[in-house]
């Protein structure tokens, strides 16, 4: 009878023993008897308890961004985001942002609403039927129910219109602008700018400054590297802009000079629906139609 062959050792299985502090696999002789059971190598055993605890916590955080987490693990990670140790706090926040990229934004939006908005568009846009529309219009919406627009393409006598949709409907609409359209974050989500100091100023190369002063600024004083010029908006009109007055006490100003986006176009047509009710009905001032 042939001798039974031994099963080969796993090809990818690391040899030795794992240290949960330094995160390394080491030979068995690198562990004491107590350290072997605790998964702590001799070197890490010599560390101060506080340092050892921090290293272990950082090691645990390290793998959390890329695997499924239980409810208790999520709670533990969020608690570490307020840890007194800077390295732990930073690592926890980084891992949490990767795992839950919208968490902080959703928390910020939780009690956020808009008191008013002002939307300006001066560009060719498309309606829901795919038809092209040349728009040069400014729309105002207030939480008191008043929506007003100024159409700069219309004859002067027909340039301005105003309706009252009622406070309740207006506040519901302005809340949806924040929570559904995420308008307060358009300067982050829609930016195509390369300028870090002004994330929503999208000046294209052909519109950037030129001339001797610009050429001199291109040489960095330290290493001779090319430095980005300060973009200029003098005498330039934006394609679209949005101003939001928020209950947080801040005003959001979002301005784009070179690129139209779907988000402001969607907001524009949502506002225009108030002025063009279905079946030719007119709003009665209480959010309904008459």
pLDDT in tens, 206-220: 444 555 444 444 444
Query: What number is the average pLDDT over the span 69-93?
Result: 92
Query: What pLDDT score does 288 carry?
Result: 44
Mean pLDDT computed over 70-81: 92
Round to whole Å and give the CA distance between 245 and 236. Answer: 24
Q: Which span out of 94-108, 183-197, 216-230 was modeled with the highest average pLDDT?
A: 94-108
Is there a contact between 80 and 64 (Cβ–Cβ < 8 Å)?
no
| DSSP assigned state of 107 | H
Q: How confident is the model at residue 106 (pLDDT cuts 50, 70, 90)?
A: confident
d(CA 54, CA 61): 11
End-to-end CA separation in angstroms for the chain: 97
* Cβ atoms 243, 233 nearer than 8 A: no
pLDDT of residue 63: 82
**pLDDT tier, 202 (very low <50, low <70, confident <90, very high otherwise):** low
Q: Give the Cα separation of 187 and 200 in Å (integer).
A: 5
Of 90 and 213, the structure prediction assigns the larger pLDDT to: 90
Outline where DSSP puts E strands in 95-207: 114-126, 132-142, 146-151, 160-164
pLDDT of residue 197: 47
Q: Is the pLDDT of residue 59 over 90?
A: no
Q: Is the pLDDT of residue 268 over 80?
A: yes
């Amino acid at each position: 009878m042939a001798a039974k062959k031994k099963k080969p050792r796993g090809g990818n299985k690391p040899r030795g023993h794992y240290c949960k502090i330094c995160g390394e696999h080491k030979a068995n002789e690198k562990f004491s008897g107590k350290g072997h059971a605790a998964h702590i190598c001799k070197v890490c055993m010599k560390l101060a308890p506080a340092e050892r605890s921090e290293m272990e916590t950082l090691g645990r955080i390290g793998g959390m961004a890329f695997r499924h987490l239980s409810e208790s693990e999520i709670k533990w990670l969020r608690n570490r985001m307020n840890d007194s140790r800077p390295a732990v706090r930073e690592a926890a926040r980084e891992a949490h942002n990767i795992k839950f990229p919208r968490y902080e934004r959703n928390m910020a939006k939780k009690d956020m609403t808009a008191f008013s908005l002002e939307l300006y568009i001066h560009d060719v846009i498309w309606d829901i039927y795919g038809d092209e529309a040349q728009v040069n219009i400014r729309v105002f919406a207030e939480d008191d129910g008043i929506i007003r627009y100024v159409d700069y393409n219309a004859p002067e006598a027909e340039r301005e219109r105003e309706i009252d949709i009622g406070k309740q409907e207006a506040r519901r609409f302005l809340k949806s602008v924040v929570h559904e359209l995420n308008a307060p974050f358009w300067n982050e989500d829609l930016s195509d700018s390369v300028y870090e100091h002004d994330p929503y100023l999208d000046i294209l190369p052909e519109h950037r400054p030129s001339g001797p002063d610009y050429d001199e600024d291109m040489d960095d004083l330290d290493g001779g590297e090319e430095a980005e010029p300060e973009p200029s908006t003098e005498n330039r009109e934006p394609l679209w802009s949005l101003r939001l007055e928020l209950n947080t006490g801040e005003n959001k100003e979002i301005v784009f000079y070179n690129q139209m986006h779907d988000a402001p176009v969607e907001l524009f047509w949502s506002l225009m629906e108030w002025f063009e009710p279905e079946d030719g009905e007119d709003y009665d001032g209480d959010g309904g139609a008459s």
